[in-house]
Amino acid sequence: MRRYGSTTGSGANRGKRLAVVAGAIAVTILLSACSNDELAQQYRAGSGKGYISGNGAVTEIAEADRQGPVKFSSTLGSGATTTSEDYRGKVLVVNFWYAGCPPCRAEAGDLQAVWTKYQEQGVSFVGVNIRDQNAATARAFENTFGITYPSIMDAASGTMTLAFSGVVGPNAVPTTLVIDKQGRVSARVLGRISDASILEALIKTPLAESDQ
């Protein structure tokens, strides 16, 4: 499992690539054991923000250390059903969000940009709206930020949240997961993605791997 440092995105430093800590730490660890003390402290402090912001920490899991495929079945905002089998053989990016979340709004443009760049290269994106009960609220967010990939309205059922909770629980909003071609979690960004290049780097690893 490799961990990368986090950066604070701003107009001045936007476009700079995240410096990757040299070398990988070869360890065998359950993904569910990954935790973040800062998030726990925010929760206990009861800041009243309505979300736990995370710190942009990135965790990448070596192919040999990934757990089994995550299985899910849920309904997109369009009403269509989507399942984990729909994405088998592709790299899937899953972003947990909701419309009133400030860091979700801050990263929306980067997510759309990466989706636009990689959608023809065997990469799929799906959002998971964990709080908004009204689909119109979600659509307004998507229209504002030009989001064209689909989202699942998960607030009522919690289907997606439950599906991923035993693997890498989304301890912060936003949380972004990269799923490999076999349906296994290969990376997590806990909190806002501070630069599109970070997500691109995490996508390229499983994209280059064999389908088998």
Do 211 and 30 touch, CB atoms closer than 8 A?
Answer: no
Q: What is the pTM of this model?
A: 0.75
Q: Is the peptide bond before 170 cis (omega within 30 degrees of 0)?
A: no
Average pLDDT over residues 158-171: 75
Distance of alpha carbon 109 from alpha carbon 115, whole angstroms: 10
**Non-local CB neighbours of 31 within 8 Å, separated by 6+ positions:** 61, 66, 67, 167, 168, 185
Return phi, psi of residue 104, to 5°: -65, -40
Go through the domains of the chain in sequence order and give each one's CATH number.
2-207 (3.40.30.10)
Average pLDDT, the chain: 78
What's the pLDDT tens digit per position in 3-32? Answer: 554 443 444 443 333 333 222 222 222 233
Q: Give the residue from 93, 4, 98, 97 showing the smallest Cα distance to 55.
A: 4
Residue range 29-76, pLDDT digits in tens = 223 323 334 433 433 343 333 434 456 788 899 999 999 999 999 999
pLDDT of residue 132: 94
Q: pLDDT band at residue 171, thresholds of 50, 70 and 90? A: low
Structure tokens at 152: 């699942």
CB 151 within 8 A of CB 76: yes
* β-bridge mates for residue 176, sequence order: 95, 189
Distance, CA of 48 to CA of 118 (rounded, Å): 37
Strand 81-83 relative to strand 73-75, pairing: antiparallel
Q: Please report which confidence band the pLDDT of residue 167 belongs to, taking 50, 70 and 90 as the band edges.
A: low
